[in-house]
Amino acid sequence: MKAYWYDNLPGDQREPHDSGRAASAEQLSKLGILHYHLPSRADVDALARERGYKNRDEITISPATMGAAAYEAKVRAFFDEHLHEDEEIRYILDGAGFFDVRSRGDDWLRIRLERFDVMVMPAGIYHRFTTDDKNYTKAMRLFKDDPKWTPLVRGAETEENEYRKEYVKMRDGAAVEAH
């Protein structure tokens, strides 16, 4: 994993957009982001048990598996800023991708995840996702209960969302243990 401040320069979203300013594990922790590097499925299973994840699936995001038009549409949709009402956990099985998350000051932090990286994002955090310029990410998605895929696109309504309000309260008042 590599985390840094997004450069906000024009260009393809799949490019690194690395500002040269690193983001620390402590900064991510203050946003509620957890990161692990787990090369063993047994370690992933242990983390799933520890965090109460009962369900999982795998997704491969690439033009070869989805078709070029469907892939481009999906990557554009993933890149719309949104939140979920569930904690989001992703385990990268192959390839790589970027998760962008909003800082307390509403700037983007970019997190590059590669094979065997696990990231946990809290419910209510604004974020977006894209593959890198190799256009290939295979990931395991883990869920506490049945998966809820509803992305809530950022707007006035999401600011009043109970999960968003809980997240902001957590972010502004506490940190989680950094890994």
**Which residue numbers belong to the known binding site?**
82, 84, 88, 127
Q: How far is CA 112 from CA 17, 97, 119, 167, in A?
A: 11, 6, 10, 22
CA gap 43, 34 in Å, rounded: 15
Q: Give me the amino acid identity at 147.
A: P
CA gap 97, 102 in Å, rounded: 17
Question: Residues forming the annotated binding site for Ni(2+)?
Answer: 82, 84, 88, 127
The C-alpha torsion from 141 through 142 and 143 to 147, rounded to 10°, is 20
Question: Residues forming the annotated binding site for Fe(2+)?
Answer: 82, 84, 88, 127
CA angle 141, 85, 60 (to 5 degrees): 20
The β-bridge partners of 116 are none
Tokens of 95: 């390839």
